[in-house]
Structure 1
Amino acid sequence: MRSALLFSAVFGLAAAAPKAMPQEIELDYVDSLPTPTTGLGPAVEQVSATPTYDASAAASDAAQEISTAPIYTPTPSSSSKRGLRRGQLAKRTDCGPEPDGKGPSPGYDTSDTGFLNSPILANYANNAVAPAGYYLAPGFQNLKGSLSQIGYIGLYTFAQYDPSLCSAKCDQVCTCLGFDIYFERDPSITPAAACPNPAPFTNVKCTLYGYPVAAAAATNTGQWRGPVDSNNQAFHVVIAGSNGYIRSPPAPPALTNFTGPSALLPGAINAPYDPTTNKNTYLGMKLYNSGPFDPSQCAAACQAQTAYNTRHPATDRTYMPCNFFNAYVLSKNNIPQGTYCSFYSRTWDASYATNTGYYSGTTHYTVSNSYTYALTTPDPGHT
């Protein structure tokens, strides 16, 4: 069924087809793609995690996927680990000291409620200054939850609440497009049966993300750690003063065999039929959501799809080559959904970037960080 769908979509174009073929966002595909079970944020015990995204592995996975899931298929790969290399937690001793804890005291009350409502912590968040090259994400200031969003790439713990410390770490990672800085109420020693619900201290944590950060995704409001004490209370990890900042995005890197990137403002390509051949040039799409925004996955899939189509030509020995693609961040109600790739048989200029998103009922889909790449030596589409 999958091969039949691909064949008819690429080669079975009706002669009476309209002159324009809107590349609407494939909502069924987007909604069917499972959210990764890892890579949304750090484990509660972590205080550091150096970014280790492997773009080469991600591109290789994207290319290999084409043989079993070509770009027209509505069923994405079940893999949720593409390109991710997660660090291991350091083993800790029961009732031993926890790391860091150098953040400010919340003040008069060190309970979880006092921490959440501390005017001292709120003052830090409300008076923080956006670092150069960054801006505060809409509505993302002094929240009581940290990010749980695709594209998590690293974690740092600081001795002070200073967004510029976090932006300096983000600037060192080409895939970093935003960060969340927040206070976390952590146990001063590792909770265990001999020391349940220990005294708290404050950590200042900074998490880096490979997509623009969204206030709606700040849903990690804390967890419970360890056994309960004589009052039937376990230690409660909670979040306060959570601020999210979006990086004014640097252009993604150049890619082997392609010219670009060319930035599109404000939307994505919505191409008509080729005026010289009267044929549709849109091959289809893919969405990758297990790592940061990464157009190299689109490039790998584009070239692999051409190779696949070359092996399955029409009776006249022609096939649909992928010579051009548009990579962008697709967001659903402001929450990034992944790297969306649209593939074409020919290039289109920025005047065709008219797809800025739309509403589906009350759900709003939007386009950002949109770039195009063109194959340096176009494939003619025939053997």
Structure 2
Amino acid sequence: MVRKNIIISSLFLGLVSASPLHLKRQDLPIDSYDESVAAGADSTDTPPVGDAVPQNVETFDSNTVAAEVVATVVDTPPAVAQASNDTPPDVIAVNLLKRSDMNVARADGPATSCIVRTFNGPQVSDPDTPGAFTSYPAFSTAAIDSVKAANVPSGYAAVPNFVNLNAVAQDKSYITYTSSKLTSYDPKKCAAICDATAGCTSFNIYYERVPLEISKATQVPDAALGCPGNADAASATLIKCAFYGMPLVATSAKSVYQYQGKAFKVVYAGSTAFTKSSGPTVDGLQGPVTFGDAAINAPAPVIDHGYLRTQTFGTNVPFAPELCAASCKAQTEYNAKHGTNKGQACIFFNAFVIYKNGKDGVFTCNYYGTPYGVSYAKNRGQWDDSGNHWTISNSFGYYVPGNYVAK
């Protein structure tokens, strides 16, 4: 069953009263960042332990979200957009909210039955303890081998400092996971699934220690059925891949563990993350041109150098430049009709991810009526007055045909 998208959109004008845009340099959109993060606050950020019922599955329909993005442009009243000094909207935030969980068919049989779970990884039984699991040599070997050049999936790169950890990714862009489709620790299989999943940009592959005996109905221990999940209960190993819509970074890894049943400790090993190594292509546009960990910094005053606006998205909207392409086109049509932004056409945008203190990446696009090349990608982050460090990753440029500039 595929669930429908539920989308909410809000418009943040962010007009700077103390420093009008015609005098202002181009800063990162830190004013709207917290609102974008808050919009995804109820999102699941990591897969459930075991094979929980129901399994959470996210779906991403770029056409539906793009329609909402366009609506935020065309529904902006010209008088508001132009304001007193003809400044464009500084920030438009579009937030895709978490959908309700998808009901997954439960196993046949009476709810009172206790079963031995299906698992796909090697059992660690001598001794069968959390410590033995996290230090099991075969898990480390598989993880370390997976990031050797010959084994890294095509089109992906291992996330630096996120290799062979006892921690798993936690990120609001979590989409879904698989265990049943894996028969081994196989990043290439996970990459193929990511490529076939709308909005997927990264994945985290790992071993998970779970209780061997569980309730058939709920997939967790149940003392009433004789599978209480005691501290010394036998374990099983699940190999999992979790999929995310945003690029994972080292700080996405969280050293978390939890208990199931009475005292069974769930832990992780061999956890490694991979992210796509290049930006996605967008139909009808030139690019992507890689800007790395820097965003375009248009010359000041930015309103006289082609800057149109910045758009941020909720943390559970994936890295999807096609959304920015739809918005760019709508901005061109709107500006021509209303004279906003001096009637400039949007001919170039810079798609990137912004982080606050290394966490909670927010997909962001800057739009321009002037094309800029890699020599203008100079904004590598900034500090605010509260001591927060704002950084950038996965920055790419996209151009309306005929407007590409190399420098």
TM-score, scaled to structure 2: 0.72
Distance change (3 Å), C-alpha of 1:340 and 1:45:
same
2:85 aligned partner: none
Q: For the Cα contact (< 8 Å) 2:69–2:94, is it kept in 1?
A: no
1:254 aligned partner: 282
Distance change (3 Å), C-alpha of 1:45 and 1:3:
closer
Q: Which moved more, 1:300-309 or 1:196-205?
A: 300-309
2:271 aligned partner: 242
* 1:23 maps to which of 9, 21, 26: 26
2:124 aligned partner: 106
Task: Give matches, 1:113-124, under 5 Å.
Answer: 113-124=131-142
Distance change (3 Å), C-alpha of 1:135 and 1:348:
closer
Distance change (3 Å), C-alpha of 1:294 and 1:22:
same
Q: Which amino acid aligns with 2:161?
A: G
1:267 aligned partner: 294
Distance change (3 Å), C-alpha of 1:99 and 1:376:
farther
Q: For the Cα contact (< 8 Å) 1:49–1:87, is it kept in 2?
A: yes
Distance, in Å, in 1 between the alignment partners of 2:131 and 2:360 is 31
Q: Which moved more, 1:166-175 or 1:362-371?
A: 166-175
Q: For the Cα contact (< 8 Å) 2:291–2:395, is it kept in 1?
A: yes
State, as a whole percentage, how many aligned pairs show the same letter.
Answer: 31
Compute the RMSD of aligned alpha carbons.
3.9
SS at match of 1:144: coil
Q: For the Cα contact (< 8 Å) 2:92–2:311, is it kept in 1?
A: no
Distance, in Å, in 2 between the alignment partners of 1:173 and 1:3 is 31
2:228 aligned partner: 196
Distance, in Å, in 2 between the alignment partners of 1:3 and 1:120 is 51
Q: Which runs of 5+ in 1 are unaligned?
A: 227-232, 379-383
Q: For the Cα contact (< 8 Å) 2:13–2:89, is it kept in 1?
A: no
Q: For the Cα contact (< 8 Å) 1:150–1:292, is it kept in 2?
A: no
Q: Which amino acid aligns with 2:299?
A: P
Q: Which runs of 5+ in 2 are unaligned?
A: 1-10, 82-87, 216-220
1:230 aligned partner: none
Distance, in Å, in 1 between the alignment partners of 2:112 and 2:389 is 47
* 1:166 maps to which of 181, 184, 190: 190
Task: Give matches, 1:359-378, under 5 Å.
Answer: 359-360=383-384, 363-375=388-400
Q: For the Cα contact (< 8 Å) 2:26–2:300, is it kept in 1?
A: no
Q: Which amino acid aligns with 1:102?
A: N
Q: For the Cα contact (< 8 Å) 1:39–1:290, is it kept in 2?
A: no
Q: For the Cα contact (< 8 Å) 1:274–1:281, is it kept in 2?
A: no
Distance, in Å, in 2 between the alignment partners of 1:266 and 1:42 is 28
Distance, in Å, in 1 between the alignment partners of 2:64 and 2:116 is 34
Distance change (3 Å), C-alpha of 1:107 and 1:375:
same
1:147 aligned partner: 169
**CA drift at 1:290:** 1.5
Distance change (3 Å), C-alpha of 1:272 and 1:119:
same
**CA drift at 1:318:** 4.8
Task: Give matches, 1:4-19, under 5 Å.
Answer: 17=23
Q: Which amino acid aligns with 1:138?
A: P
Q: How many residues in Structure 1 have an aligned counterpart in Structure 2?
A: 357
Q: For the Cα contact (< 8 Å) 1:358–1:364, is it kept in 2?
A: yes
Distance, in Å, in 1 between the alignment partners of 2:234 and 2:295 is 52
Map Cα deviations across residues 348-379 of structure 1 (whole Å, 9 max, x no partner): 2332222222344764433332222234599x
**CA drift at 1:223:** 3.2
Task: Give matches, 1:322-341, under 5 Å.
Answer: 322-335=346-359, 337-341=361-365
Q: For the Cα contact (< 8 Å) 1:137–1:245, is it kept in 2?
A: yes
**CA drift at 1:58:** 2.2
Distance change (3 Å), C-alpha of 1:78 and 1:293:
closer
Map Cα deviations across residues 113-162 of structure 1 (whole Å, 9 max, x no partner): 44334445344434544433444322212322211113333422223223
Q: For the Cα contact (< 8 Å) 1:13–1:280, is it kept in 2?
A: no
Map Cα deviations across residues 311-357 of structure 1 (whole Å, 9 max, x no partner): 6547xx95454332111122344445122101122322332222222
Distance, in Å, in 1 between the alignment partners of 2:102 and 2:116 is 18
